[in-house]
Amino acid sequence: MRIGFIAGMFLWLFVLPVCSQEKDTVSTIRLDSVVIVKSAAQAVRVTSALSVEAIDERFLREHFTGNLVKTLEHTPGIHSMDIGSGFSKPMIRGMGFNRISVVENGIKQEGQQWGDDHGLELDVFNAERVIVRKGPASLLYGSDAMGGSIELTPFLPPVENQIMGEAVFSGKSINENTGASLMIAGKKDQWFTKFRYSEQHFGDYHVPADTIVYLTRMIPLYGRKMKNTAGWERNVSFYAAYRNHRYYSDYSAGNVYQKVGFFPGAHGIPNLLSVEDDGNSRNIGLPFSNVNHLKISTHQQYAWDKMIAYWDAGFQDNRRQEWSRFHTHYGSAQPLPDKEPDKELEFSLQTFSSTLKMKFPVSDAWEHTAGWDMQYQQNAIGGYSFLLPEYRRFTSGMFALTTYRPNKKWLISGGLRYDYGRINVISYSDPYLAMYLQGKGVAQDEIERYKWRSYGTNFYSGDFSASVGIVWTPDNIQLIKANIGKSFRLPGANELAANGVHHGTFRYEQGDASLSSEKAWQLDASYRLENKRIRFDMMPFFCWFGNYIYLKPTGEWSILDDAGQIYRFTETEALFAGIEISLEINLFDRFDYHLNGEYVHTYNRRERTPLSFSPPASFRNTLEYRHEKFQTYLEIHSIAAQNRNAANEDPTPGANLIHWGASTNLSAGGTKIELTFSVQNLLNTKYYNHLSFYRKVEIPEPGRNFQILIKIPFKKLFK
C-alpha cells in the first residue's frame, strides 16, 4: 500500500510542468485601492495585548520536522513533550495538557489531552499558518485555554480564478520515515475548494543507547533501536469557502488515522523476551495504539454596515484504542475476554461545539465584541482495563470584549467572560478486582477503596474570567505591551474520578471528587525594539494559582502487584514565572544572527518544591545566510540541566546540540521545486528531554537525524 501510494504521487509530476508553464498574470494586475501597511504578523501583534506570534508558511517549511509541535519549538516559550520519534504534545510557558487549547479552523481540538502518551491528531502537511497566543486566552476559548492557545488557520483564497496545488515528499533517517502529501485547490468566482491527502510510514527509531531501566530492570536495546515503535498515518481533508458581497462561509471536514506501536519494554510488566530483535524494523506488533479523529466544522459570517456576525460550529469523533497482550494485576480472578481479548483500552469521545460572536466597529476608536459558546462531550469506554472513566461534560460561556484606540500610539483592551460547566462521571465497579482482593484476604474497607475503578461524580462550577491590557507604540521602532488576566479551569474527569493503574505514565493514579476549579491570576508584558539591522524582544510573565491541580505522590503503595506508588490529584498554591528573549541582528549583507532564549520557574508553595514537567532553560544561537533563492543556517541549541524537580521526577542533565539546515528553490523543466534539507543532532549527542514521555525509563532522545522535504507547487490561471 505504501509503495503504491508514493508511486501514484509521482505520477502527478507529469502534470505539473504543463500547469506551471502558463504565464502568471498576477504581476500585471494593478490594485490602486489596496495599500499594504504591515505584514500579517505585525497586524496580529499590534492589535493584541497578549504575547502573540504569527508563524507563516516559510517558517514552517524551513524548520519542518514532520512534527508540528517540534517545529513550533523554535519559537521562545513553546516546548515539546515528546512521545518517541514522531509525536509530541505542546506546552506553553510550562503549562500543557488541558491548560492550553489547540484550535483548527475556529474549533478547539478535542481528544484525550490529559494523556502524555500520545500526540495531536493533526495533519502536519496541512499547517499553513499558525498563531500562538502565550498567556491567558480564556476570554476567547474558555477555561481550557488559561495557558494559551495554538491556532491553525488556512491561507486566504487567491483573488483570481485558478487551479493550484502542491505535491510534497518527506523523509527522515532516524526511523526510515517516508511521507507524501497531495493538495489540489481551485478558485472559481465566489467559490474556493481544497482537497488534501497525506500519508506517512515509519519504522523503529534509533537512540544513542544500548540499555534502559524500567522498574529497576535493565532492558536491552538491540541495534540501538526502540523495537515496535514503527507506525503509519493517513490523513484526508476537504475545505470549501464561499464569498458573496457581505456574506462569507467556509466548510471543512477531515479525518486523521494513526497506528503506532509501543516499545514493549516500557509497557505493562517488563519482559526481556518481548524486546528481542525480530529482524523487521517496520512491523507493528503488540502493544500498539490506533487513533481515528474525525472533525467537521463550518464558519458563517455576515457583515452589516455597523455589525459583523460570526458563527462557528463543529462535530468531532475521537476514537482511541490501545491493544496489548491480555494481562492482569488480579492473578487468575480476571478471565480472558471472549471478544477482542487483547483490546486493553478504548475511548470514544464525541464533541459538539458552537460559538456565536457579534463584532461592533462603532468608530475608528472603539470596537466591541460579544459572544456565546457552548460545548457538549460524551465519552464511552471499553477494553479489559481502563483509566479515564465514562462521562458527559457540558460547558457554556458568554463574553464581551472591547478595544479603544484613542490615537495611533495607544490601544487599550479589556474583556469579561462567565463560564459554567458540568461533568457527570459514571461510576464503575470492577467485580474481578473485588474477587481477587477477597481471595487475598484483604479487609472489606480496602476492597471498597480499590474495586471502584471510577467514582460516580456530579461536578458543576461557574466562574468569571477577565483581562485588561495596553499596547503602546511610542515611535516607529518600539512596541510595549502589558496584560493582566484572571482565568479558571474546570477539572477533568480523570482528576475527579480516576482510580487505577495508568501504564502510560507508569503509576497508580487516583482522582479526588472534592477538587474545585483552578483559579489563576496572570501578568505578562513584552517589549520590542526593531529597526533596519536589529530586532529585540523581551517577554517576562508571572502567574499565581490559588489551587493548582497536580499529581502528588502519597507515600502509599498500591496493594496490586507491580502497580507501584499511589499518586493522587491534589490542589496546591503554585507560581509560574519566567522570561523569553529574542534577538535578531543583520551582521552583514545576507548574514543574520538569531538568539532565542527562555526560562520558566515553577514553585509548589505547599510542598516547597518545583512542579512536575518544568521545562529547563534553553538557548538557540543561530547563524543564517540568505541569498536570493537559497537559505542555510547553523544552530547551537543549549539545554540547561534541570535539577529543580518535583517529588516524582529525576533530574535531567543538560546538553548542547548542533543542527544544520538549508533550503532552496529550483526550476526543472518549467516546474518550481522547493527543497529543504536538515540534520538534527549533528554530533549524535546522547541527551534526555525532561518533558518526554519516556524520560522516566531513561530512554534518550533520538540521535542524528537527516531530514528532507520536497515541495512542488503548481498553478494555472483561467477565466
Give 703-712 pLDDT, tens digit per residue. 899 999 999 9
Query: Is the preceding peptide bond at 287 cis, omega within 30 degrees of 0?
Result: yes
Calculate the alpha carbon distances from 411 to 131, 361, 477 in Å.
20, 15, 17
Site of grid cell 463560564: 419
- Confidence at residue 116, expressed as pLDDT on a 0 to 100 scale: 60
Judged against a pLDDT cut of 50, whether residue 158 lies above it is answered with yes
Q: Which of 76-85, 188-197, 402-411, 644-653 has the lowest mean pLDDT?
A: 76-85
Q: Where in 435-513 does DSSP place strands (E)?
A: 452-454, 457-475, 478-489, 499-502, 507-510
Residue 91 lies in a domain: no
Q: What is the pLDDT of residues 91-147, one digit of tens each?
A: 999 998 889 899 998 889 988 766 666 678 889 899 888 999 988 888 888 888 888
Judged against a pLDDT cut of 60, whether residue 38 lies above it is answered with no
Residue 399 lies in a domain: yes
How much of the chain, in percent, has pLDDT values that exceed 90? 52
Cα–Cα distance measured from residue 40 to residue 530, given in angstroms and rounded to the nearest whole number? 16
Q: What is the pLDDT of residues 615-647, one digit of tens each?
A: 999 999 999 999 988 999 999 999 999 999 888
SS3 content of the chain, % helix, strand, coil (to 5): 15, 55, 35
Q: What is the pLDDT of residues 471-525, one digit of tens each?
A: 999 999 999 999 999 998 999 988 999 888 776 666 788 899 999 999 999 999 9
Give me the chain's average pLDDT, please.
Answer: 86
Which amino acid type is present at position 579? I
Q: How confident is the model at residue 82 (pLDDT cuts 50, 70, 90)?
A: confident
Q: Which of 32-36, 295-299, 680-684 has the lowest mean pLDDT?
A: 32-36
Q: Which residues, including other chains, have CB under 8 Å from residue 540's CB and lie 6 or more apart?
A: 524, 525, 577, 578, 579
Cα–Cα distance measured from residue 368 to residue 362, given in angstroms and rounded to the nearest whole number? 7
Question: What average pLDDT score do residues 255-266 get?
Answer: 87
Q: What is the pLDDT of residues 262-297, one digit of tens each?
A: 888 766 665 777 888 888 889 998 889 899 999 999
Q: What is the pTM of this model?
A: 0.88
- Confidence at residue 562, expressed as pLDDT on a 0 to 100 scale: 65
Question: What average pLDDT score do residues 601-605 get?
Answer: 95
Residue 86 lies in a domain: no
Which amino acid type is present at position 650? D
- Confidence at residue 43, expressed as pLDDT on a 0 to 100 scale: 65
Q: How confident is the model at residue 16 (pLDDT cuts 50, 70, 90)?
A: very low
Judged against a pLDDT cut of 60, whether residue 18 lies above it is answered with no
Q: What is the pLDDT of residues 177-192, one digit of tens each?
A: 999 999 999 999 999 9
- In a 3-state reduction of DSSP, which class is residue 198? strand
- Confidence at residue 85, expressed as pLDDT on a 0 to 100 scale: 65
Cα–Cα distance measured from residue 33 to residue 43, given in angstroms and rounded to the nearest whole number? 19
Q: Which residues, including other chains, have CB under 8 Å from residue 89's CB and lie 6 or more apart?
A: 69, 80, 81, 83, 96, 97, 113, 116, 118, 119, 120
Which amino acid type is present at position 716? K
Cα–Cα distance measured from residue 452 to residue 239, given in angstroms and rounded to the nearest whole number? 45
Q: How confident is the model at residue 684 (pLDDT cuts 50, 70, 90)?
A: very high
- Confidence at residue 272, expressed as pLDDT on a 0 to 100 scale: 78
- Confidence at residue 45, expressed as pLDDT on a 0 to 100 scale: 67
For 590-617, give one letter per residue: b (16+ CB within 10 A) or e.
eebebebbbbbbbbbeebebbbbbbbbb
- Confidence at residue 115, expressed as pLDDT on a 0 to 100 scale: 64
Residue 226 lies in a domain: yes
Q: What is the pLDDT of residues 291-336, one digit of tens each?
A: 999 999 999 999 998 899 999 999 999 999 989 888 776 767 778 8
Question: What average pLDDT score do residues 5-16 get?
Answer: 38
CATH number for the domain spanning 640: value is: 2.40.170.20
State CA 107 to chain mean position distance.
14
CB count within 10 Å of CB 283 equals 13
- List the grid coordinates of 354: 458552537
Residue numbers of the domain that contains 421: 2-28+163-717
User: What secondary structure letter does DSSP report for 60?
Assistant: H
User: What secondary structure letter does DSSP report for 652?
Assistant: B
Cα–Cα distance measured from residue 598 to residue 600, given in angstroms and rounded to the nearest whole number? 7
Burial class (CB in 10 A: 0-12, 13-18, 19+), 10: exposed
Residue 425 lies in a domain: yes
Q: How confident is the model at residue 669 (pLDDT cuts 50, 70, 90)?
A: confident
- Confidence at residue 169, expressed as pLDDT on a 0 to 100 scale: 96
Cα–Cα distance measured from residue 383 to residue 345, given in angstroms and rounded to the nearest whole number? 5
Selected residue with higher pLDDT from 610 and 218: 610
| DSSP symbols for 587-647 | EETTEEEEEEEEEEEEEETTTTBPPSSPPPPEEEEEEEEEETTEEEEEEEEEE--B----T
- Confidence at residue 26, expressed as pLDDT on a 0 to 100 scale: 32
- List the grid coordinates of 383: 477494553
Task: Name the nearest CA neighbour of 141 among 112, 102, 114.
Answer: 102
Q: What is the pLDDT of residues 88-106, one digit of tens each?
A: 888 999 998 889 899 998 8
∠ Cα 288 294 299 (to 5°): 150
Residue 74 lies in a domain: no
Q: Where are the alpha helices (DSSP H) in 463-558?
A: 493-497
Among 1-15, 250-264, 269-283, the range of highest mean pLDDT? 250-264
| DSSP symbols for 261-309 | EPPGGGSSS--GGGGS--S-SS---SSEEEEEEEEEEEEEEEE-SS-EE
Residue 55 lies in a domain: no
Note the maximum CA span of the chain.
Answer: 87
Residue 77 lies in a domain: no
Number of domains in the chain: 1
